[in-house]
Amino acid sequence: MRKEKNIIPIKPLSRTIPLSGKINKQDSHWIDTRGRPLRDLRISVTDRCNFRCRYCMPKEKFEKDHSFLAHTELLSFEEIERLARIFVKNGVEKIRLTGGEPLLRKNIESLVTRLSSIKTHNGKNLDVAITTNGSALSKKAKSLAEAGLKRITVSLDSMNPETFMKLNDVGFPVEKVLKGIQAAEDAGIPSIKINVVVKKGVNENDLLDIVRHFKGTRVIVRFIEFMDVGVTNGWRMDDVVPSRQIIETINKEFPIEPADPNYVGEVASRWKFKDNGGEIGFISSVSEPFCKECSRMRLSVDGKLYKCLFATEGFDIRQMIRGGATDEEIEQAIGRIWSARDEHYSEIRTSETHKERLNNKIEMSYIGG
């Protein structure tokens, strides 16, 4: 049996799967209590990572004393595909594979192939994306493109070699990630984005270099406010640099103006360079919450469903699957879970709400960022 060594909620609280209750549906989508349709699913395919970013898996909490999940506890690709088909039948249009580091999951390309061939309710191929730290992208970009991957997001918080190594805390060189991004471009992956988590006093002075590097290319940079996910990263409101401040800094050097969203519920607010140098985005979960349009569910690496990134409890769908439930039973359970959803954590976030939930918050690497 796996030894429980660490207090990190690697086995977070579980809620009972609802066996009765209303299912709200409009057109092809399940609708929650705030009128929000379920369109988007994030799947964590591994809780392991080769980086130890301080804001996500700090070394002192995720080193020797930490027990990662055993392979048998992870959802298999067959189980993931089965669930994905149920979600897509009920209106999900996008699936993002994340983690931990998704490219560490063996043969991840075959999961991309399985999922990309699913047809959505409007007859299109399912939109499958991956978020990665880019460390294995030089090796994998071509095979991922061949597997049908259309969108990739690479996390890159600094182009300064020293700051980058400090951030990943395993001495991984930034040049290798840049080579990975180049490999994704060369492989012809149509959409490439860069995620930059901004933490006060850590990388806030490196942002213009990133903008300069990617401006005028087809790679879109998005700045993300440091969030209070999980319990291990020591989040404090004081560490957050509000997007508004970053916009002002960038605007002084590279004039930008707001652009319309690509679609309703787009998480990043879009801005474009006035000189036609492309666009950048800002994900301002802390300073400008977007819960009103949040249409996202998360599936953890061991098959628990979460209605919010800041949830403290998940619903154990793997238990249903491995207990022999039919597709219809699973479908109804998920429909009930979404229909009862009222979550809107970012709208009520204060330093106090963060403290109240502190012992039960789920780690990003487990729930999937």
Nearest-Å Rg of the Cα atoms of the chain is 20
CA-angle at 30, arms to 25 and 33, nearest 5°: 90
> H-helix or E-strand containing 313?
strand 313-316
Of 21-29, 89-97, 139-147, 339-347, the window that binds ligand SF4 (rule: CB under 6 A) is 339-347
Contacts of 345 (CB under 8 A, 6+ apart): 291, 308, 309, 310, 311, 353
Q: Give, as one character, the DSSP assignment of residue 361.
A: P
Q: How far apart are CA 137 and CA 143, in angstroms?
A: 10
Nearer to ligand SAM, 34 or 244 (CB): 244
- Residues 151-190 as x/- pattern, contact with ligand SF4 by CB under 6 A: ----x-----------------------------------
Of 10-18, 145-153, 251-259, 338-346, the window that binds ligand SF4 (rule: CB under 6 A) is 338-346
Q: Does 189 bind ligand SAM (CB under 6 A)?
A: no
Of 50-58, 140-148, 317-325, 352-360, the window that binds ligand SF4 (rule: CB under 6 A) is 50-58
Q: Does 290 bind ligand SF4 (CB under 6 A)?
A: yes
Q: Does 368 bind ligand SF4 (CB under 6 A)?
A: no
Q: Does 109 bind ligand SF4 (CB under 6 A)?
A: no
Residue of 179, 230, 285, 208 lying closest to 54 (CA atoms) = 230
- Determine the longest span between alpha carbons in the chain, in angstroms: 60
Q: How far is the CB of 195 from ligand SAM (least distance, A)?
A: 4
Q: Does 99 bind ligand SAM (CB under 6 A)?
A: yes
| 92, 40 Cβ separation under 8 angstroms | yes
Neighbouring C-beta atoms of residue 335, cutoff 10 Å: 21
Under DSSP, is residue 69 helix (H, G, I), strand (E, B) or coil?
coil
Tally the C-alpha atoms within 13 A of residue 169's C-alpha that lie toward its C-beta: 15
Q: Does 232 bind ligand SAM (CB under 6 A)?
A: no
Would you state the torsion angle of the CA atoms of residues 327, 302, 10, 369, taken in this order, to the nearest 10 degrees?
-90
| 82, 28 Cβ separation under 8 angstroms | no
Neighbouring C-beta atoms of residue 48, cutoff 10 Å: 17
Residue of 106, 104, 117 lying closest to 150 (CA atoms) = 117
Q: Does 149 bind ligand SF4 (CB under 6 A)?
A: no
Q: Of 17, 23, 49, 159, which lies in the binding site for ligand SAM, with binding defined by CB under 6 A?
A: 49
Q: How far is the CB of 294 from ligand SF4 (least distance, A)?
A: 3
Q: Of 133, 138, 332, 339, which lies in the binding site for ligand SAM, with binding defined by CB under 6 A?
A: 133
Q: Does 250 bind ligand SAM (CB under 6 A)?
A: no
Q: How far is the CB of 235 from ligand SAM (least distance, A)?
A: 6
Name the site residues for ligand SF4 (rule: CB under 6 A).
Answer: 49, 51-53, 56-57, 99-101, 133, 155, 285, 290-291, 294, 296, 308-310, 343-346, 365
Name the site residues for ligand SAM (rule: CB under 6 A).
Answer: 49, 55-56, 98-99, 101, 131-133, 155, 195, 197, 224, 226-227, 229, 233, 364-365, 369
